[in-house]
C-alpha cells in the first residue's frame, strides 16, 4: 500500500473561533492506482492534499487521524521536505504561476534532476527526455525558454516533466486540467498514466469528466465523504444524492443546478440542497456499503 490516509479533524483557527474544514475522510491508494477527489470549491479537496504534504497553512490544524506512506508514518520537517520532489511529486493547477518566471525551463528541470542524483553531464539529455515524454516535439527549444514564453497548456506539460524528474511513488495533482479543453484534459490524464504507471495517483478536481478518467472516485461535500468507490460504479449507479446532483450538473445531462431548498442544519453537509431530505430534517448520516462502494446518507 502506497498511501493510507485518515484525516481526523482539519480546522482553521480564526480570531475568536475555529471552523472545521475536513472531518473523518479516509481512503487508501495502492501502487499504480488512480483516485479522484471530487467536489465543489470549499469541499476540502486541497486541504487534504496539503495535509498529506505537511503543508497546511499556519492557522490550520490537523488533530487525530493517521497518514502512512509505504507503511510508515509520514514524517514532518526536514524528513518530509526530503520526500517532496523525490518520492512524492506535486503537479499544480497552474503551471505558469508555479514556475519561476525569472529562470529558464532548463533550470527548473536540472534542479529537480539534481535531487535524485543525476549528475551534470547527464542532466541535459535527461531533461530533454522528460520533456519529450511530456509531449514536446522540440525539447531543446523548450529548455531555453522562460515560463512566460509558454502557453498555459505547455506550462502544464512542463509540470508533468518536472514530476517525471522524480522517483515518485505518489503523485498529487491539484486541479491539473484547469484551463484545458476536453481533448487537452484527456491527453493530460493519458500522460499521467503512461509516465507514472507504478505510482499511486491522487487527482484533485471539481470536474466529474476528469474524475471519470481515474479508476476510483471519492466524492466530498463540506469536508465530509459522501461516496467512494470505482468510478464506473459511481457514474452509472450513484447511491448518494450529492453524487447524483454532481452527475446531473454535467453539460450532457442538462447542467441542472441544486438550489437551496430549506433552512436549518443536519449532520449532512448537503442537507439544505438535497431534494431527498425530509422536511423535518435528516438524522446523522449512516455508513452504507454495497460491494466495493460505500456512501454516507440517512436513507438506505
The CATH number of 3-87+167-297, from 3.40.50.300, 3.40.80.10, 2.60.40.10, 3.30.2020.30, is 3.40.50.300
Report the distance separating Cα 285 and Cα 267, nearest Å.
6
Strands 170-174 and 200-205: parallel
Is 61 in contact with 45 (CB distance < 8 Å)?
no
Map grid coordinates 466530498 to a residue: 220
Beta bridge partner(s), residue 90: 172
pLDDT tens digits in sequence order for the chain, 300 residues long:
999 999 999 999 988 888 999 999 999 999 999 999 999 888 999 999 999 999 999 999 999 999 999 999 999 999 999 999 899 999 988 888 899 999 999 999 999 999 888 987 899 999 999 999 998 999 999 999 999 999 988 998 999 999 999 999 999 999 988 777 888 888 889 989 999 999 999 999 988 889 999 999 999 999 999 999 999 999 999 999 999 988 887 656 555 676 677 777 777 888 888 888 765 557 678 899 999 999 998 765
- Angle 120-133/105-115 helices, nearest 10 degrees? 110
In the chain, DSSP assigns E strands to 3-6, 9-13, 18-23, 26-29, 34-38, 60-63, 66-69, 72-73, 88-91, 170-174, 200-205, 216-221, 224-230, 286-290, 293-297
Domain ranges of the chain: 3-87+167-297, 94-166
Q: How does pLDDT run across 2-33, given as a tens digit for each residue?
A: 999 999 999 999 888 889 999 999 999 999 99
227 bridge partner residues: 219, 295
Amino acid at each position: 500500500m502506497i498511501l493510507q490516509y485518515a484525516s481526523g479533524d482539519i480546522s482553521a483557527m480564526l480570531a475568536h473561533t475555529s471552523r472545521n474544514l475536513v472531518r473523518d475522510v479516509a481512503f487508501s491508494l495502492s501502487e499504480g492506482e488512480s483516485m479522484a477527489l471530487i467536489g465543489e470549491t470549499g469541499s476540502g479537496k486541497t486541504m487534504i492534499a496539503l495535509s498529506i504534504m505537511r503543508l497546511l497553512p499556519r492557522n490550520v490544524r490537523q488533530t487525530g487521524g493517521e497518514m502512512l506512506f509505504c507503511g510508515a508514518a509520514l514524517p514532518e520537517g526536514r524528513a518530509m521536505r526530503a520526500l517532496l520532489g523525490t518520492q512524492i511529486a506535486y503537479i499544480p493547477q497552474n503551471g505558469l504561476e508555479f514556475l519561476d518566471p525569472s529562470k529558464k525551463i532548463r533550470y527548473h528541470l536540472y534542479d529537480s534532476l539534481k535531487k535524485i542524483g543525476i549528475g551534470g553531464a547527464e542532466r541535459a539529455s535527461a531533461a530533454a527526455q522528460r520533456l519529450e515524454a511530456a509531449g514536446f516535439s522540440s525539447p531543446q527549444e523548450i529548455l531555453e525558454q522562460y515560463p512566460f514564453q509558454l502557453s498555459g497548456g505547455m506550462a502544464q506539460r512542463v509540470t508533468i516533466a518536472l514530476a517525471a524528474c522524480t522517483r515518485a511513488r505518489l503523485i498529487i495533482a491539484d486541479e491539473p486540467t484547469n484551463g484545458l479543453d476536453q481533448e487537452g484534459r484527456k491527453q493530460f490524464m493519458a500522460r499521467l498514466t503512461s509516465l507514472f504507471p507504478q505510482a499511486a495517483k491522487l487527482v484533485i478536481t471539481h470536474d466529474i469528466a476528469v474524475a471519470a478518467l481515474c479508476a476510483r472516485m471519492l466524492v466530498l461535500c463540506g469536508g465530509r465523504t459522501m461516496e467512494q468507490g470505482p468510478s464506473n460504479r459511481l457514474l452509472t449507479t450513484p447511491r448518494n444524492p450529492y453524487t447524483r446532483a454532481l452527475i446531473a450538473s454535467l453539460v450532457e445531462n442538462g447542467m441542472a443546478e441544486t438550489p437551496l431548498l430549506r433552512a436549518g442544519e443536519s449532520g449532512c453537509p448537503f442537507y439544505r440542497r438535497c431534494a431527498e431530505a425530509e422536511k423535518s430534517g435528516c438524522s446523522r448520516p449512516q455508513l452504507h456499503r454495497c460491494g466495493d462502494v460505500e456512501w454516507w446518507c440517512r436513507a438506505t
